[in-house]
Amino acid sequence: MLTLTGYVVGRSIEILWIINVIFAVWTVFRSHRDIASTWAWLLVLIGLPYIGFILYLLVGRQLSHDKIFIIKQEQEKIRQQFLKQQRHMLAQHDLLPNLDQNQRSRRLVELNLNNDDAILTIDNSVQIFTDGPKLFDNLIENINQAKDTINVEFYTFYADNLGKRVLAALEKAASRNVTVRVLYDASGSHGTHPKFFNKLRELGGCAQPFISDSSNHWYTTPRYNYHLHRKLVIIDHKIGYIGGFNIGDQYVDQSKKFGHWRDTHLRVVGQSAAMMEVRFTMDWNTSCRKSRLPKINIDEEIKNFKLDWNRQDPSCVAMQIVASGPDNSNLGIQRGYEHIIAQAQNYVYIQTPYLIPGDPILESLIISSKSGVDVRIMIPCMADHPFVYRATEYYAKYLTKQGLKVYKYNKGFIHAKTVVSGSDISSVGSANQDFRSYRLNFEVNAFCYSPQLTQELKEIFEKDIEDSTLLTNEYFDQQSWWRKFKQYFSRLLSPIL
């Protein structure tokens, strides 16, 4: 009897495993994915029967074709509306009038323009922030001085001390008839209930989650991917903030776990603030299809905007606002990164909390280094996501063995997403060096063309080296076998982390 029972149980397990394999293959191959992601999900679904399907429901499901269509349709409408408004100026466009001899910069500008419709603007004054308390003091001061509109877009808007400070400033602005809009990622703002913004709404302001969020229907459409990871604030159509900081106490050094939070954000006064507003309008209007809040008329929002390429002030920064996301297969930010790295001549300095590069960027980094370019990368000394950090360690070890210089920042948690190269090229924004930022999240970066700004960012990187440790082959060789195993295992899952 026991033998028969054991046989039945064994056969049942075999049949269930075969069914699991069939469903795993069908589930993965029915979606359009790159090969690396396909094999990574097959590993999870087959290697972790049943549990793998739960993980897939949470982090593997793609946006529906209907939702992608809605996003594309709304964004194309705004893009064409804006481009039509500026068509006569674009026809006379000299891409980099003050940098005619810099063909590398010109090619990057053309790539971003052709790949993402990223219009170059010249008249921009830029201030760099690397300290959270100073950034948010400055931001709140600008909010308090706003006279017309405030558009806020963040991955994280926590209902903690900093969140309440920022919200109080927004409420005061709404009370004096300033148009206030807040767009946030519900998953990234976990714990922030919609009623947190009730007073703002009562005062005439608006707040809503981004369209890709499924938090209101998590039981039918659970998904932890496809986040609104952008961080933008646009005030009175002329002041813009863009970078890596979110709204929460940990970003102003109030977290015991992370301690000092090291990030990079830009305050931009000028034409590129209007380009950020175009980006915000696309995201807002797309989300309005669910919330039924009033859409933005881009013609009215920036009716006084005029492109000007004749400014000769050497302190002005030429800039393009480049976006990417799962709604667009052009991979705008990733291709911009690839171009900067592959075309580097002297140095490339990169700061990123997550180092899980795809093959194109990985190969570009190695080729540049072996061609004599000084390639340096800075990562955190601690994890905020265990699997992600182990995968980051794997690639840090791999690149170290290839001769690149990889630093571990020791003073706290480094969250900056910057690329600095050559005499006048830099990128600051929300996109990390990982698959998630390249393909899964909605991101936005400022690509800048300025010797002065590039030098400032280069000096900031070199200053951070003083608080960092250069990783060596010996450092990795001394790690335990268990830690090495976790690094290798996490690397196998890197396309889906």
Confidence at 38, pLDDT banded by 50, 70, 90: low
Nearest to 234 by CA among 284, 168, 306: 284
- Dihedral sign, Cα of residue 148, residue 154, residue 158, residue 163: negative
Question: Which of 251, 273, 307 delimits the end of a domain?
Answer: 307
Q: How far apart are CA 367 and CA 108, in angstroms?
A: 19
* Residue 417, pLDDT above cutoff 50: yes
Same domain, yes or no: 176 and 267: yes
Backbone angles phi, psi at 150, to 5 degrees: -135, 115
Residue 319 in domain? no
Same domain, yes or no: 287 and 377: no
Among the listed ranges 301-305, 478-482, 487-491, which one has the minimum average pLDDT value? 301-305
Same domain, yes or no: 140 and 193: yes
Same domain, yes or no: 48 and 192: no
Amino acid 193 reads H
Instruction: Over range 174-183, report the average pLDDT.
Output: 98
Question: Which of 60, 79, 109 delimits the end of a domain?
Answer: 60
Same domain, yes or no: 79 and 207: yes
Instruction: Over range 26-35, report the average pLDDT.
Output: 53
Residue 143 in domain? yes
Backbone angles phi, psi at 260, to 5 degrees: -70, 130
Backbone angles phi, psi at 206, to 5 degrees: -130, 145
Residue 53 in domain? yes
pLDDT in tens, 250-293: 999 998 889 999 999 999 999 999 999 999 998 998 888 777 89
Task: Please report the pLDDT score of residue 436 as a whole number.
Answer: 87
- Decide: helix, strand or coil at residue 336: helix
Task: Please state the domain count of the chain.
Answer: 3
Q: How far apart are CA 467 and CA 475, in angstroms?
A: 17
Amino acid 336 reads G
Confidence at 222, pLDDT banded by 50, 70, 90: very low
Find how far residue 192's CA is from the centre of its chain: 21
* Residue 372, pLDDT above cutoff 90: yes
Domain extent, residue 491, equals 332-496
Nearest to 167 by CA among 179, 180, 178: 180
The whole-model pTM stands at 0.85
Same domain, yes or no: 267 and 303: yes
Same domain, yes or no: 31 and 79: no
CB 464 within 8 A of CB 414: yes
Amino acid 364 reads S
Instruction: Over range 423-437, report the average pLDDT.
Output: 94
Same domain, yes or no: 359 and 443: yes
Sheet containing 347-351: which strands, arranged edge to edge? 318-324, 443-449, 425-429, 418-421, 347-351, 374-380, 405-409, 468-470
Find which of 66-80, 203-217, 259-273, 299-313 is predicted with most confidence, using mean pLDDT: 259-273
Residue 244 in domain? yes
Question: Which H or E element spans position 98?
Answer: none
Location of structure tokens 């290697």: 47
* Residue 86, pLDDT above cutoff 70: no
Ramachandran bin of 98, using left for φ above 0, alpha for ψ from -120 to 50, beta for the remaining angles:
alpha
CATH number of domain containing 72: 3.30.870.10
CB 375 within 8 A of CB 339: no
Residue 79 in domain? yes
CB 96 within 8 A of CB 318: yes
Confidence at 383, pLDDT banded by 50, 70, 90: confident
Q: How far apart are CA 359 and CA 113, in angstroms?
A: 24
Residue 115 in domain? no
Residue 114 in domain? no
Using CA atoms, how far residue 468 sits from 183, 281, 384, 409, in Å, is 36, 40, 18, 4
Confidence at 33, pLDDT banded by 50, 70, 90: low
Q: How far apart are CA 324 and CA 332, in angstroms?
A: 5
CB 155 within 8 A of CB 231: yes
Q: How far apart are CA 177 and CA 182, in angstroms?
A: 15
Mean pLDDT, the chain, integer: 84
Backbone angles phi, psi at 496, to 5 degrees: -120, 5
Same domain, yes or no: 148 and 285: yes
Residues 6+ apart with CB under 8 A from 399: 355, 362, 365, 366, 377, 406
Same domain, yes or no: 221 and 352: no
Residue 314 in domain? no
Same domain, yes or no: 479 and 363: yes
Question: Which of 60, 82, 105 delimits the end of a domain?
Answer: 60
Task: Please report the pLDDT score of residue 299 as a whole number.
Answer: 78
Same domain, yes or no: 266 and 339: no
Residues 6+ apart with CB under 8 A from 30: none
Residues 6+ apart with CB under 8 A from 334: 324, 358, 360, 361, 431, 438, 439
Amino acid 329 reads S
Q: Give me 256's structure tokens.
A: 């015991």
